[in-house]
Amino acid sequence: MTLWTADEIAAATGGRASGEFSVSGVAFDSREVGPGDLFVAMAGGATDGHLFLDQAFAQGAGGALVSADTAHPHVRVADSFRALEDLAGASRARMAGTVIGVTGSVGKTSAKEALYAALERGWRGRVHRSVKSYNNHTGVPLSLARMPRDVRAGVFEMGMNHAGELAALTAMVRPHIAIVTAIAPAHTEFFPDESAIADAKGEIFRGLEPGGTAIIPYDSPHRDRLIAAARPHASRIVTFGFDPAADVHAMEAMRGPTGGSFVTARIGARELSFTLSQPGRHWVSNALAVLAAVDAAGGDLGLAGLALAELGGLAGRGARFRTGNGALVIDESYNANPASMRATLAVLAEEPGRHVAVLGEMRELGEGSADYHAGLAEPIIAARVEKTLLVGESMAPLAAALEGRVDFVHVADAKAAHEALAAIIAPDDVVLIKGSNGVGLSRVVAALRDGSRTGGAQG
């Protein structure tokens, strides 16, 4: 299916087409270019995409967006990155469906994927979403540029680590529905306090289209701050949470026999009972935000409930698998902050078996880093963790807080963590692996997963 023609790309970007061609996708990483894609050759600090034009076309690219001469089919522009933003704007302008923006300190990628699944269940093949965690100044325009013109809904994740970033992204996305999943200490190195983080997340409401809906966590201590940020821009404000006063709230949430949750939710005047495949209170909260958005978008709540029951864990964000010797691995290796660490440790606490935690340092926490790390001692003890591997220099305050209370090993990096884990992992262990992405604990997960595929025992 044609996503863009050369003439459409030229019109959107103010560029000049070398000739007629059409593309079915968009990519700016040459390694991800597939047949029929438009390759956006951008010059960056580390490298220049123009150096990979031959590679992109060898992989089947249908055309390129360039700012330098090339013999390949292309649209020539002055600045490829600005042209990508222009293409994103043209994509948003031609889309007649409902656009939903998602942000938050924790849970935004999971909520985005759950919302996509919930809407896709009712509108098969007519829902678009940003892939992976493409939520920054390059990922958001790429995700917009990839959006088919005839979709009923588009779901876009937006992230930030500085004030002002979300304001720019939401102006590009122009959502009809804007969700804040939660506010928690994250990127605190760049903010004076958590209220400032709430203010930065509240920027998402500035881009709301007329008649738009703001969806806000009722149980957050920053609820009123977020409501104040939304009020000038939203025609409707919907809250979600566990408090009965929330517009969408959990009337009941019980752990299910397969590890997920059985939830009865009230959405306005209606009730919906559904099974949530993912365990944990934080996932119940995500599901409530999803239901609020589905309702605001005019989707089918019953089908949304069925989708939530079938939702699998995301790699790095709750995916589960068993190693060759039968140990259960909970993969939370993509990222970490104090709130998400506590939430996943609470999930670990409910699992039967010996609890093992591989915890990487949490980054971008600024002057409060030592206290945030040391503050994980009580959640670790509450989760009945019998073996703890602490990874990274910033874990030293936590090591001191655990001394004499929990059996732990403090190692320097992911390689040492894998070696230490391989020496202790046993059948029927439940192993939580979580840390900031830069720690590289995904490599530990990959090694364990490769062992499970080959049937080899770990340890």
Q: What is the pLDDT of residues 316-329, one digit of tens each?
A: 888 999 998 899 99
Instruction: Assign a CATH topology to domain 319-454.
Output: Protein-Tyrosine Phosphatase; Chain A (3.90.190)
Within the chain, which residues score under 70 in pLDDT? 186-188, 452-459
Instruction: Assign a CATH topology to domain 95-310.
Output: UDP-N-acetylmuramoyl-L-alanine:D-glutamate ligase (3.40.1190)
Alpha carbon distances (Å) from 453 to 82, 321, 352, 441: 44, 10, 24, 19
pLDDT in tens, 39-89: 999 987 778 999 999 999 999 999 999 999 999 999 999 999 999 999 999
> What's the pLDDT score for residue 316?
87
d(CA 154, CA 152): 7
d(CA 416, CA 411): 6
Domain locations in the chain as residue ranges: 4-80, 95-310, 319-454
Which superfamily, per CATH, for 4-80? MurE/MurF, N-terminal domain (3.40.1390.10)
> What's the pLDDT score for residue 452?
52
Query: 4 pairs with which residues across the strands?
Result: 23
Strands 236-241, 213-217: pairing is parallel
